[in-house]
Amino acid sequence: MYIYILTNPTKTVLYTGVTNDLRRRLYEHSSGRGNAGKFTGRYQTDLLVYFELCPDAMQAIAREKQLKGWTRSKKDALITAFNPNWKTIDLETWAG
């Protein structure tokens, strides 16, 4: 299970989610770009800047809830520690 954080092109919005298939989920988010009925579509948050792997669904959901409760500055620090330049992560080439 993955916990992930997406942002928009101007890096003003963050979206935190959980999935068992990160590639598929990223595709779903990018396919809904501009869909005003969905948060990620409305705010164009389809750029992956952070992810982590959890061993099971219970832990992943608990971690997602934890991150969602954090302040923006705490989330920013987490992303910066993982991805200092906030470059969009391409799972095919990501070396960490």
Write out the chain's pLDDT in tens, 96 residues: 999 999 999 999 999 999 999 999 998 888 766 565 677 777 888 899 999 999 999 999 999 999 999 999 999 999 999 999 999 998 888 776
Contact 43, 37 (CB under 8 A): no
- Check which CATH number belongs to the domain holding 69 and give it: 3.40.1440.10
DSSP 54: -
Answer yes or no: is 88 within a domain.
no
Sheet harboring 47-53: ordered strands across? 14-19, 2-7, 47-53
Answer yes or no: is 74 within a domain.
yes
Report the domain count for the chain: 1
pTM of this structure: 0.89
Q: Where in the sequence is the domain holding 71, given as residue range(s)?
A: 2-82
Answer yes or no: is 18 within a domain.
yes
The confidence score (pLDDT) of residue 32 equals 66
Looking at residue 21, its amino acid is D
Answer yes or no: is 91 within a domain.
no
Answer yes or no: is 15 within a domain.
yes
Answer yes or no: is 96 within a domain.
no
Answer yes or no: is 50 within a domain.
yes
